[in-house]
Structure formats: structure tokens, C-alpha cells
Structure 1
Amino acid sequence: MASLNVGNLGGFLREQRRNAQLSLRQLADAAGVSNPYLSQIERGLRKPSADILQQLAKALRISAETLYVQAGILDERAPEAAETRSVILADPSLDERQKQVLIQIYESFRKENGLDADAPAPAAGQEPGEDGGAGDAAPAPKS
């Protein structure tokens, strides 16, 4: 079955597309995705990557962070934390796994410092114990 927020994301995207007076085909072309794929996203059958969300946001002329929140990638939180996460997610030089590892490291440091102590893991479907090699990606000592 679809992930929890995917249906909400699809409806939100459809609403934004209609507000922008774009057809499905026009938005798909502008975002560089296929028509069927965009249709599946809008119907809640697919969960797009952060990169695809960024392309859709650019085509719709809305904040990528807004789509990340709708997709469940980001929680609505303090602006400085959201900005940091957005910058990481928007970096084209990182792959999806690297982005999620960086966000997990960032979240762990914030939690260690008493900020966002109740924050859930940022990656949907990733187990809390999965670090994706975070020990090699960060200069922080292993605990």
C-alpha cells in the first residue's frame, strides 16, 4: 500500500497544478518527468524522491520545502532546522542515501543538544538503527 503522506502529497500537487492552471502534461514537461509518473504521484501510487519533488516545486513556483513537508520528508519545525534540511535535500552533488545519512547525523546532533528531542527519523521506511554508513560519513566519534 501507499505510504502515509503520499495521498496527501498527490492531492496537494494536483491542487497546486490546477491553481497554476497547468495541465498534467504541461507540469510533467516542465518538471522533466513522464506523464504517467506524475499521474501516479497525484493519485498517491508513487512516492517521488526529494530531487523529483524539487523539480516539481520549481515548475510550480512553490517552495521545495513545502513539498518535502507534504511528502513526509520534513516535519514542520523551526525555520533554521528546516532550512538546513532543505539545503541538504536540494544539493545535486549528493545521492539520496547520502542526503538521508546527513539529515540523520544532523538530527542526532540536534537531539544530543536538546533540540527536536522528539523528532522522528527523516527517512520514511528506514529503521532507526540503520545508519547507512554514517560512521564513515561524519567526523563524530562512534558511541
Structure 2
Amino acid sequence: MASLNVGNLGEYLREQRRNAQLSLRQLADAAGVSNPYLSQIERGLRKPSAEVLQQVAKALRISAETLYVRAGILDAERDMDEVETRAVILADPSLNERQKQVLLQIYESFRKENGFGAGEPAGYEQDGVVGRETGDGSRTAGGGDAAGSERDAGPRRTAG
């Protein structure tokens, strides 16, 4: 099988998997893909879909957007500094998920204020955090995990 132009993606995934101290099988199980398929991605023999990359990114707790750029799904020249900044924030082990999302929102607001970017923050939905748009167009983030998001989505009781 000839190698596709996704070797950089495969090498990066292998490095991230090893940093997370996961075996190929553990990552495949966590991402919901087959072990042989993930192995072929790491070796540059397969080009995964955006959906598979999103699942792998979520399992590795890294930015899916970074994987999209490395896979050639997003233009690498398109705000690479922004993508890298977001990836560093999302990969920082000293921050919890809620802090990461708040920091990304602040970063996005400064970029908008300075005339850059109008999209959703990287990882806004793929990291299991449900974002909500308020009446004034600003956004708030829910809890740091899927369970927290479901908990936040429930009805609220008011006193009185």
C-alpha cells in the first residue's frame, strides 16, 4: 500500500498517543475505531475523515482543529498561530476543562475585538462542552465534561 501525504499526521498522532501513555489498542477503543485502522493512520497509509479525527482528538484530549490542519482538511496557512495557541491551551495539564474553555473564550473575544476571526473556538463542541449563545450574541460554556453538560441542561428550580 502506497503512503499517502498524511505521514505528518501519523507521526503527530503517535507522539500524542505516547505522551498520553496510551497503547494503540487503548486509543483505538477510546476513539471507537479499529486497532488496524488506527495503526494505518499512524503509519500514513490511510487518510481519516474529519469525524474519525474528532473522535481521536477527543480520546487524546487535544484540539481536533490541529488534527484537521495536519491532515490537510483545513488550510495550514489559515491562522496557524491561532490553531497552535488553542492547541497549547487545550493541552495544558495544569488547567481543568472549565478553565480551558473560559480561556479560549477570552482569547476569541480579544481576537474579535482586534478584527480577527469570527468562528467558534477550537474544541468548542468537540471536547464535550456545550456552548450556549446568550441574547446579546455572547457565548457561555457549560460544564467540563459530557456529564456536566447534561446536568447543566436540566430545568432549574427557583425559590418562592
Q: TM (normalized to structure 2)?
A: 0.49
CA displacement, residues 113-142 of structure 1 (integer Å, 9 cap, x when unaligned): xxxxxxxxxxxxxxxxxxxxxxxxxxxxxx
Aligned residue in 1 for 2:17:
17
Equivalent position amino acid for 2:48 in 1: P
Secondary structure at 2:13's aligned position in 1?
helix
* Backbone CA RMSD of aligned residues: 2.2
**Structure showing greater Rg:** 2
Q: Deviations over 1:28-82 (max 9, x none)?
A: 000000000000000000000000000000000000000001101112323527x
Secondary structure of the 1:66 match is: helix
**Aligned-residue identity in percent:** 78
Where structure 2 has 5 or more consecutive residues not aligned to the other structure, the ranges are: 83-116, 127-160
1:3 positional shift: 3.1
Aligned counterpart, 2:58: 58
CA distance in 2, matches of 1:40, 1:13: 11
- The answer for the alignment partner of 1:3 in structure 2 is 4
Structure number with higher relative contact order (C-alpha < 8 Å, ≥ 6 residues apart): 1
Aligned match of 1:49 = 49
Amino acid at match of 2:38: L
Give 4+ residue runs of structure 1 displaced > 6 Å after superposition. none
Q: How far 1:2 sits from its partner (Å)? A: 3.4
Q: Residue 28 of structure 1 corresponds to which residue in structure 2?
A: 28
Counterpart of 1:57 in structure 2: which amino acid?
A: A
Partner of 1:72: 72
